[in-house]
Amino acid sequence: MAKFKRKVTEPELIVRGLLQQLGVEFVEQYPVGYHTVDFFVPSKLLVVQADGDYWHANPLLYPDEGRLSSAHRKQRGVDCSCNSYLLNHGYRVVRLWENDLHKKPEFCAEVLREALEMRIK
C-alpha cells in the first residue's frame, strides 16, 4: 500500500518542539505493525502520541461514554488496541492530550523527560 502524506496536526507540532528542546533523536510517523505512531524514540523504544481532544475524545472533556458518537467510540477502541499492540511488542507509550499541550506545556515536557529517563528492560 502506498504511503500518503498527511498534514501535521497542531498537537504534533508542539510535541515535535518539546522533543527537539529535549535534544532527543526521534522519527515522525513511524510504522509499527498495522499502526503508524506520531513519534518514535528508537534509543528508548518509546512511542509518543499527540492526541487531539476532539478526534480522540479526551475523557476529561467527553466524560460521558454513553453520549459519545460512534466515531469517537471507534477511535477510543483503535487507541486502546494500538496501546495494547505496542506494549505487547516491547514499546513504551506516552499519550499527550492537546489540552495539556496548550495549557500545561511544562507538565508535558516533564512527562516526556521522565519517560526518556526510564531504563529499557
Q: Is residue 4 part of a domain?
A: no
Output the tens digit of pLDDT for each of the chain's 121 residues.
345 567 889 999 999 999 999 999 999 999 999 999 999 999 999 999 998 777 777 777 777 777 778 887 887 888 889 999 999 999 999 999 899 999 999 999 999 999 999 866 5
Q: Is residue 42 part of a domain?
A: yes
CATH of the domain at 106: 3.40.960.10
Q: Is residue 99 part of a domain?
A: yes
User: CA–CA distance from 74 to each of 37, 55, 62, 109 (Å)?
Assistant: 17, 10, 14, 29
Q: Is residue 26 part of a domain?
A: yes
pLDDT digits (tens, 9 = 90+) for 63-95: 777 777 888 788 788 888 999 999 999 999 999
Total number of domains constituting the chain? 1
Q: Is residue 41 part of a domain?
A: yes
In single-letter form, the type of residue at position 23 comes to G
Task: Look up the domain containing 79 and give its range.
Answer: 10-117
pTM: 0.86
